[in-house]
Every structure is written in C-alpha cells, then in structure tokens.
Amino acid sequence: MGDPNQAFDPTAPPNPPSWTPTKPPPPPSSSSRPRPSSPSSTSSPLSPGHLLLCPRRHAPKLTDVDGREAAELGRYLRLLSRALVRTTGVNDWNVVQNNGAAAAQVVNHVHYHLIPRPEIRASGKLRESFTMFGRGVRSELDDDEGAALAAKLREAIREVLEEENSKSKL
C-alpha cells in the first residue's frame, strides 16, 4: 500500500480486488441456514473499521439482487452500523454503494462500504478532508491491529444481535 500521507493521484490505477475468479473469497461459515449477507473488512480501508457487506449470491449490481436479499442487506446495514459505532467510538460514517464502472465500482459484485468518519477538524487539521468515494488516502492497519479490531467488531455484532432479538420478544 502507498504512503497514507501522499496526495491523491486521480491518474493512478485503482487497487486490485483482494480476490479474483481464480482465487474466490472464503466459503461461508457453516450454519443450519445459509446467511444471505456477509460482512468483512476491506484490504484497503479508508479508515479503521471500514467494512464491506455483500450478498453471498453473486449479483453484479444492486438491481440484480431480489427483494428478499435487498431487505436483508438493509437490515444488516443498520445492525452493522450500530456495531461499528460501538466498536470504533466514531459516531459518523458513510454507507457507499457503487453500480458499474462509471460509478467507481471496481469489484463486479454488489457490496456496501461502511466507513467510519472520525472528526478530523477537532484535531486541528482544518484543511484535511476525507475522500468520499473511490480512491484516496487510505489507512493502514498492521495485522495485530486488524485482528484486535475484528475481534471487537465480532463481539459488538453479537451484542447488537442479542439486543435485537430481545426487543422482538414481547
């Protein structure tokens, strides 16, 4: 990965996806009912905690998911947002979803980015801003930091799901 302090170069090629058709993503975890959606961290985060959410069934664009999948993705976006805020302590975040190359979609599979946006102006960096979409300054986590953040996020997701399940029981 490049230097995170280096200025954004719009002519630079985008980072390649972390998987290809010859190296598919890992298989879904086993359960009694396959889950239609899967959260994961990204290999090129825009900030610590940057997550991806995608359906397990291949669908190139949002228009290619069915109504059940769309509803499930929406449900998980809300739950993952709560877990992300709880894990990172960052109360502002973007949810980004691109459809097609002209819209900056690099990986040909529908996916949502959940990107924590810490307040950088409060730290005195008044001229800095985040790249909203596409390429830009990226954060780097070492393996230990990434593993610790993933463990905290898994625990927060478990807590959020337990809270949701307890609310639905009258």
Over residues 21-31, the pLDDT tens digits come to 333 434 433 33
Residue 111 annotated among the catalytic residues of the structure: yes
Residue 139 has pLDDT above 50, yes or no: yes
> Quick check: helix, strand or coil at residue 79?
helix
pLDDT of residue 28: 37
Residue 22 lies in a domain: no
Domain presence at residue 55: yes
Q: 145 is in which domain, residue-wise?
A: 37-120+138-160
Secondary structure class of 9 (helix, strand, coil): coil
pLDDT tens-place string over residues 109-121: 999 999 998 876 6
Check pLDDT > 90 for residue 157. yes
Instruction: Let me know the angle formed at the C-alpha of 24 by 60 and 1, rounded to the nearest 5 degrees.
Output: 90
Contact 103, 61 (CB under 8 A): no
Per-residue confidence (pLDDT) for residue 114, from 0 to 100: 93
DSSP states of 82-120:
HHHHHHH----EEEE---SGGGT--SSS--EEEEE---S
The answer to whether 77 touches 97, Cβ cutoff 8 Å, is no
- Of the listed 50, 109, 111, 113, which one is catalytic? 111
Report the CATH number at residue 152.
Answer: 3.30.428.10
The answer to the question of residue 48 being in a domain is yes
- What whole-number distance in Å separates Cα of residue 94 and Cα of residue 97? 10
Mean pLDDT on 133-157? 75
**Structural domain contains residue 68:** yes
146 — pLDDT class (breaks 50, 70, 90): confident
Q: Taking the model in full, what pTM does it have?
A: 0.66
Asked if residue 66 belongs to a domain, the reply is: yes
**Residue 102 is assigned to a structural domain of this protein:** yes
Does any domain span residue 87?
Answer: yes
Q: For residue range 73-110, list pLDDT tens digits in order.
A: 999 999 999 999 999 999 999 999 999 999 999 899 99
Number of independent structural domains in the chain: 1
Is residue 27 assigned to a domain?
Answer: no
